[in-house]
Structure formats: C-alpha cells, structure tokens
Amino acid sequence: MLKIKEYVRAESLEQAYQLNQKKTNRIIGGMLWMKMSDARIQTAIDLSALGLDQIEENEEEYRIGCMVTLRQLELHEGLNEWSHGIVRESVKPIVGVQFRNLATVGGSIFGRFGFSDILTCFLALDTYVELYKGGVIPLEEFAEMEKDNDILVRLIVKKKPGLHAYLSHRNVKTDFPVLAVAVSADDRGARAVVGARPSKAICVPLKEEWKKAIEEGRCTELEAEQMAKELAEQIPTGSNMRASAEYRSHLAGVLLKRAILALLEERGRQNAD
C-alpha cells in the first residue's frame, strides 16, 4: 500500500524542484500508477497550481504542459487535426475515460514506461521536452537518459507538415498494448517507432527511397510489406505474460505494413484535396 507522510502543493517550479531532490519525496502527477505501488513517500509534491495543465498553440508549435491529462489530448481538435489523429488514436484505448481524465502527460512521458502509447506516439513527431534545469532537448534523447530528479515542465511539438499513422494491438481492449507502432514522414526524414516490445519505444529510420516512394504515393502493397519486413527485423523484442518475442516480431511486420499503407492513404487524400 502506498503511504504518504506529507503533501505540498507547490507554489513554484523552484520549490517543487528543491523538494524533489530528496529521494524520499515524489512528484505525484495523476498518481494512477504510483498508487498501485508499495512506496513510502515522505513528501508528495503536487504541481497542479502552476498552470501547467494547458495546451498552447502558435504558428510553429504546440506546447503541452506536464499536467495536461490524456483526455485533454484526446479531445484537442487542433492537435488531432494536425497530427492526422494519431494523438487521439494513441490515448483512446488507455483504460477508460475516468482514467484518462486523471493520467497526465508528464507522468506518462517522464516514466518512460515500456508499455507507453504516449511515448511511442510523440517519438514519431518532432517532439522536445522542456526540463526545469535541463532545458529543451529532443524527446528521443530524453527517452534514453537515466531518470533523475529534474522536472518535466512540458512537451513541445513542432508543427511540421508530414504524414503520420499510429496503430496498436491489445489482447483485451483496455489492457496494456502487446505492441504499439507509429510511422511518420516529414522534412526530417521518415521513421518507424515501435513500443511495448515490451521494452520502451525505439526509433528506426526508413530508407530515403522508401520515404520518397511513400510521399509520392507510388508504393505498392507488396513494397509496403517488404519495407515492413525489413523494419521489423531491426526491432528487438522480448517475451512477457502478454506475448512471446516471436509473436511480437511477427506483429511488428503486420502493424508496420498497415501503418505504411495508412500513410499512403493519407497522401492520396491530400492529393485529392
């Protein structure tokens, strides 16, 4: 059972940061996974009074505060229209609406959970994290860092035009994903992101000729299958109670093919418009 001795509603990020330097203290976020642990917390640090529960937009980027809930992501029309719906697709299978009304972006990203749909999705986009002391760094770099006592303030998603697709497979509708896949193509190149392997998500770049074929809409289904097969061979997988490594490797090829075909469909719609 989780035990908390003291609770502090932080009045500033500096106060929260200083409190968080003590190993027995913890920033609580939405507190949905934490409450299932047997941790003993000296001081629970709440960031809810710091105005970090908003999604802000300008011409260049979306700025998503760490206390934004997954439900806010799911319902944000501008973010989902720009991302071709992949943000909504990544969050809507997560447990249920009540859960998504409480779970936060900060908790999902900072935890770097292997099962995280959120991490998989945002790694496919041109995403950065803003850390209180560490500054602004690419999400891919942050995902590889060891956990420390800094504070994730917000996500920053650059509004670059591109093609995006997200797919996941679950044994049961509201369970953790067996595998999650996101594929995108923009001016940075094309990349596939595979999460719930069951380890945390990793990025694999697509060959430049593949990117060009997808963007020009001249990739056949057979070529998409071959691309997916080559990508899946580069993805290390493991076994757990939800699936074997062999099944995940097979599933990676299936979902990657479907995601590539989804990019082609999106390109077709754009050309028709």
Q: Rounded to two decimals, what is the model's pTM?
A: 0.93
Q: CA-to-CA distance for 18 and 13, rounded, in angstroms?
A: 9
pLDDT above 90 (res 259): yes
pLDDT of the residue at 173:
85
Per-position b or e across 217-235, b if 16+ CB within 10 A of its CB: eebeeeebbebbeebbeeb
For 221-240, what is each residue's pLDDT tens digit? 999 999 999 999 999 999 99
pLDDT above 70 (res 33): no
CA 26 to chain centre: 22
The domains located in the chain, with CATH, are 3-46 (no CATH), 55-158 (3.30.465.10), 163-272 (3.30.390.50)
pLDDT above 80 (res 30): no
**Beta strands 40-46 and 26-27, pairing class:** parallel
For 82-101, what is each residue's pLDDT tens digit? 999 999 999 999 988 999 99
The alpha carbon torsion through 201, 207, 210, 216 (nearest 10 deg) reads 100
pLDDT above 90 (res 191): yes
